[in-house]
Amino acid sequence: MNETGRFIGVGVGPGDPELLTLKAVRLIRTADVICYLANRAGESQARHIARDALAESDKQQQYVPLLMPMSEDRTMANQVYDSATVEISTALTMGKSVVFLCEGDPLFFGSFAYMLERLNPERVGGHSICEVVPGISSVNAASAALQKPLTVLTESFSVVSGRHSLEQLTATLCNSDSVVIMKAGLSRPKILSALRQTDRINDAAYLEYIGRDNQRIETDVGQLADTAGPYFSLFVVTRSNRNTT
């Protein structure tokens, strides 16, 4: 393994291109290879967010889209990651720098985590080839969009996935002052049911596509339809009556 080869997970933030860090922009511009998740049509949210940095690169960059099926079946996803590992490893052995673009933060519900597991130093002869550049997560972007703190003073805070069971969601809503529920899309009916059961429907706000042109913020969550929503959506639940003194 050539020690100059680097595999870098770069967080590009939730959607607004201006929320990329200076370090993220620099590494994107100078990378030899750019990897990103894409749908079957080749469209990539992460690449779209990083478009300005890519356009300003003075290198002949190679693009490696990982065509990811939108399915909760991890078998197909693992096959995509396994195939990408082979291609990325080849680039690394040639001493190339490979940037993997991730929406939000690479290690917060990020796809980079699965590549990091496959390309960790123990599996490539002990060389430290992996780096991570943190990005602004959708959790922080949602708080900013709502202009509402996630926690104050002694409040507790939890982050859960909409893929958790109804029982897990209700337990978290009962036991935590502030709760962010990620991956709300297909689970929106279940999440709304949990909010009603715990009497926290009025504490909640719902957000889609944060920081993008089609951003949506709904503070009257009771008006949401009990149907699935888009993948890029979440709920932010904070106490209506907060002790700030």
Q: Record the tokens describing residue 90, joined without a space.
A: 């080849």
**What percent of the chain lies above the pLDDT cut of 90?**
75
Q: Is the CB of residue 143 less than 8 Å from the CB of residue 111? A: no
> What does the pLDDT average to over 7-20?
96
Q: How confident is the model at residue 145 (pLDDT cuts 50, 70, 90)?
A: very high
Query: Which pLDDT score is estimated for 121?
Result: 61
Q: Is 134 helix (H, G, I), strand (E, B) or coil?
A: coil
Residue 76 has pLDDT above 90, yes or no: no
- Cα distances (angstroms) measured from residue 203 to each of 72, 146, 231: 29, 13, 22
pLDDT band per the 50, 70, 90 thresholds, residue 77: confident
Task: Categorize the per-residue pLDDT at 23 as very low, low, confident or very high, splitting at 50, 70 and 90.
Answer: very high
Q: Is the pLDDT of residue 24 over 90?
A: yes
β-strand partners of 37: 66
What's the CA angle centered on 232, arms 132 and 85, to 5 degrees?
40
Cβ-based neighbours of 162, under 8 Å, separated by 6 or more:
169, 181, 182, 183, 184, 185, 186, 187, 188, 190, 191
- Say if domain 138-237 classifies as CATH 3.30.70.1430: no
Instruction: List the chain domain ranges.
Output: 6-133, 138-237
| H helix count then E strand count, the chain | 8, 10
Mean pLDDT of all residues belonging to the chain = 91
What is the Cα–Cα distance from 137 to 13, expressed in whole angstroms?
6
Closest by CA position to 172, among listed 189, 163, 159: 159
Rg (CA), the chain: 20
Average pLDDT of span 107-116: 92
Q: Are 148 and 242 in contact (CB under 8 A)?
A: no
CATH fold label, 6-133:
Cobalt-precorrin-4 Transmethylase; domain 1 (3.40.1010)
Considering the entire predicted model, what is its pTM?
0.88
Question: Looking at residue 2, what is its pLDDT?
Answer: 46
What mean pLDDT comes out for the span 217-234? 94
* Predicted pLDDT at 44: 94
